[in-house]
Amino acid sequence: MPNFTFSTPALIQDFSDNPSLQQKLNQTWDLAIDAYTQAALVSNPWTVDYQAPCDWYVNPKNADITAANPVEPIFWTAFPNRLKIYFSSAEKSPYQMNNAQVYALADFGNIPQSKAFPTGLPFIIPSKRCPNLNWQQPIDEWAQYDPQGPRGWLDEYCEWAVTRNAEGKITKIAFTCENPEYWYSLWQVSPEKVLALYQQLVSPNVVLEDLMLLSTDGKDFAIDPTTGRAAYNPLNKWNSGTVATETYGGAVHLTSPPNTIGAEIMLAAQATLLRQLPPDQYNMQRMVCAGAYGRAYRNSDPHIGLQVNQLVKNLKVKVTLTDPVGLYLQRPDFSSYKTPDGTDASQFYKVIRGRTAEQAGTTYDQILHAEFAVPEALGYTVSDILLGNAVQGSSQVPVPILYAGQIADTFHVCLAGTAVTPATGEPTQSFLPPVRDKTGDTNGQVSMLLANPVLLAMLSVNPYPPFVQLPVQINQGQTLTDLALQASYANNNFKDAEIAFWDDQGNSETGISVTVTAINTTAGVPAGKSAGSDGQFNYIVTISVAANVSPGLKGVTLRNPNCDMPVPLPGVLYVNAKGN
């Protein structure tokens, strides 16, 4: 079996001039994607039934995948479908917004030209969305629209920032689908490279301190104990919101909480499980509900889930996401664009990072970052271009481009899946009932491990930050303090829970000791006597690794003493050989 390494998105080489740092980044990235893949194979056996294990998803490190394996691209529209479903007059929504208002909501998070909707997101929407959206649900049971955050509503793995002139006309739109995990990996290798890329993508005025995460008191920077350096702030002023100016704003990488590559891999793995659904209910929405993966009514998750499931169900194959694993913008369909001087509008679209299908030798583009702007010398702006998609009324009469969302409605985002033939004689997969919550005592479900000062600083920046879990790196013979193990634990004996680490073969790592120094709520305050309404806790821990612990990825368990030993969550910790 070949020695497989996960490639960087679109095979991007950000250290092309420094082979040593590029090798370090490649290793960091490979480690992260391997950890996410291992976690996806385990899925969730702790708090629900019928969602694990995902044996029909494949880790390429354990398979012989070649160019002969079929590749299936999966496309979806970049504009957030949930904004249309929940607010558009074309749907059953009581908000009854017209097209212009929905596009404005995507560009601003509010409806600046409407007195009826001046407050902006989050609006409230029905909390009952499975098996179908229930607009008749009593309004006092509705929930706030989410995901939240400075552009949380752009949840199709595509986000943008818009530059406008003094007249409010669009002069440039930056589109990105770069996952945050890659940028965290870049920061881990070289903050200076992250700065250089920000200066290239957003503004030469960016300084390194702009990108550093402030501590909770705002007087200093939050230090990541695993690196000894200031932590990265993914919601820094140059990568926050949908408005870009000379002094703030931009779209470097994704920031909406669900727009992560870890979530993409988990979704693809969980979608390989076959479900006991009648033929007339085998559709995107019912599969999301039955499989409890992703988010209903997005364009992305339901499309990904159904197409992955169809590969497994109809072709009897296993699936893995195609290397290089990533989320990729596709070039817009410019056939309905009309410029004032007749120039082909495609000339105004520039691929800044990534590569086209022709460059990649694939059937789909691998674009990471793109811009749409009209050169000043032509004397007109993006807003002077007409687009056939109607903004006012239901007519298809071309209208000016007033919002970035109009363009997002003309292109797709894509990922690709690779089919892998099961081994000869391997049993076929059984059809499972819909996912259901476990009853009685359950073990804890760990979501991530990260430095507690960084966690608290992130929450002080924004209550809904895009948390990224890279494997925490620790050396043989090293001790790290003040780490937060974030977990769901539904039972009141959460203070008695037992934390342990395991190697990748399922053997107990007795040389890794864990001391719990505090148990806090997700708000950072000490936990009370009961599990509370959400059962979410941060176990503040000290982790010590003996000098003889073998290097490699380690999994973690959070065991309820009333339950059997659970399956470990892989890839949470990485032990480096001493001296590396």
pLDDT of residue 533: 47
Instruction: State percent of the chain over pLDDT 90.
Output: 86
Is the pLDDT score of 391 beyond 60? Answer: no
- Asked whether residue 165 is assigned to any structural domain, the reply reads no
Sign of CA dihedral 187, 188, 192, 193: negative
Q: What is the pLDDT of residues 281-324, one digit of tens each?
A: 999 999 999 999 999 999 999 999 999 999 999 999 999 999 99
β-pairing verdict for 436-437 and 48-49: antiparallel
Burial label for 375, CB within 10 Å (0-12, 13-18, 19+), is: exposed
Reported confidence tier of residue 572, pLDDT bands at 50, 70, 90: very high
Question: Which has the minimum average pLDDT: 1-5, 317-321, 378-382, 436-440?
Answer: 1-5
Is the pLDDT score of 393 beyond 70? Answer: no
The full DSSP string for 549-572 is: SPSEEEEEEEE-TTSPPPPPEEEE
pLDDT of residue 462: 81
Q: What is the pLDDT of residues 528-553, one digit of tens each?
A: 765 554 678 999 999 999 999 999 99
Backbone φ, ψ for residue 100 (5° rounding): -60, -40
Identify whether the C-beta of residue 565 lies closer than 8 Å to the C-beta of residue 444: no
- Asked whether residue 372 is assigned to any structural domain, the reply reads no
Q: What is the pLDDT of residues 560-570, one digit of tens each?
A: 999 999 999 99
CA distance 213 to 218: 9
Sequence letter at residue 390: A
Residues in a beta bridge with 373: 172
CA distance 425 to 444: 36
CA distance 221 to 388: 48
Q: How many distinct structural domains can be found in the chain?
A: 1
Average pLDDT (371-382) is 98
Q: What is the pLDDT of residues 220-277, one digit of tens each?
A: 999 998 899 999 999 999 999 999 999 999 999 999 999 999 999 999 999 999 999 9
Identify whether the C-beta of residue 13 lies closer than 8 Å to the C-beta of residue 22: yes
- Asked whether residue 35 is assigned to any structural domain, the reply reads no
pLDDT of residue 523: 73
- Asked whether residue 58 is assigned to any structural domain, the reply reads no
Is the pLDDT score of 47 beyond 70? Answer: yes
pLDDT of residue 122: 76
pLDDT of residue 1: 56
The full DSSP string for 328-393 is: EE----GGGEE-TT---GGGGEEEEEEE-HHHHTSSS-EEEEEEEE--GGGS--GGGSEESS-SSS
pLDDT of residue 390: 53
Average pLDDT (142-147) is 92
Is the pLDDT score of 113 beyond 80? Answer: no
- Asked whether residue 451 is assigned to any structural domain, the reply reads yes
Identify whether the C-beta of residue 31 lies closer than 8 Å to the C-beta of residue 61: no
Between the CA of residue 456 and those of 115, 392, 424, 447, 486, what are the distances in Å? 37, 44, 51, 16, 12
Is the pLDDT score of 455 beyond 50? Answer: yes
Between the CA of residue 556 and those of 264, 286, 495, what are the distances in Å? 22, 32, 17
Q: Provide the domain limits for residue 484.
A: 440-576
- Asked whether residue 109 is assigned to any structural domain, the reply reads no
CA distance 259 to 155: 6
Between the CA of residue 383 and those of 221, 227, 341, 349, 444, what are the distances in Å? 40, 46, 14, 14, 52
Residue bearing the bigger pLDDT, 533 or 415: 415
CA distance 39 to 57: 11
Average pLDDT (462-484) is 91
CA distance 109 to 122: 8
Q: What is the pLDDT of residues 168-193, one digit of tens each?
A: 999 999 999 999 999 999 999 999 99
- Asked whether residue 247 is assigned to any structural domain, the reply reads no
Is the pLDDT score of 465 beyond 60? Answer: yes
Is the pLDDT score of 480 beyond 90? Answer: yes
CA dihedral 128, 133, 134, 138 (to 10 degrees): 40
Residues in a beta bridge with 500: 557
Q: What is the pLDDT of residues 75-104, one digit of tens each?
A: 999 999 999 999 999 888 999 999 999 999
- Asked whether residue 550 is assigned to any structural domain, the reply reads yes
Q: What is the pLDDT of residues 419-448, one digit of tens each?
A: 999 999 999 999 999 999 999 999 999 999
pLDDT of residue 530: 57
What CATH number has the domain bearing residue 522? Answer: 2.60.40
Mean pLDDT for the chain overall:
94
Predicted structure pTM score = 0.95
Cis geometry, peptide bond prior to residue 324 (ω within 30 degrees of 0)? yes
